A and B are shown apart, each in its own frame.
Chain A
Amino acid sequence: EAGVTQSPTHLIKTRGQQATLRCSPISGHTSVYWYQQALGLGLQFLLWYDEGEERNRGNFPPRFSGRQFPNYSSELNVNALELEDSALYLCASSLGQRTCNEQFFGPGTRLTVL
Chain B
Amino acid sequence: DAKTTQPPSMDCAEGRAANLPCNHSTISGNEYVYWYRQIHSQGPQYIIHGLKNNETNEMASLIITEDRKSSTLILPHATLRDTAVYYCIGLNDYKLSFGAGTTVTVRA
Contacts and interface: CB of A to CB of B under 8 A. Distances in A.
Interface of A: 31, 33, 35, 42-45, 48, 50, 55-56, 58-59, 92, 94, 96, 99-103, 105
Contacts, number: 62
Contact of B9 (A44, A56, A103): A103
Determine chain A's interface SS by DSSP, over half rule.
Answer: strand
Given A102-B10, A105-B8, A43 B103 contact: yes
Given A45-B105, A100-B10, A100-B11, 18 more contacts: A33-B105, A35-B9, A35-B103, A43-B8, A43-B9, A43-B85, A48-B107, A50-B107, A59-B40, A99-B12, A99-B16, A100-B18, A100-B20, A101-B12, A102-B7, A102-B9, A103-B10, A105-B8
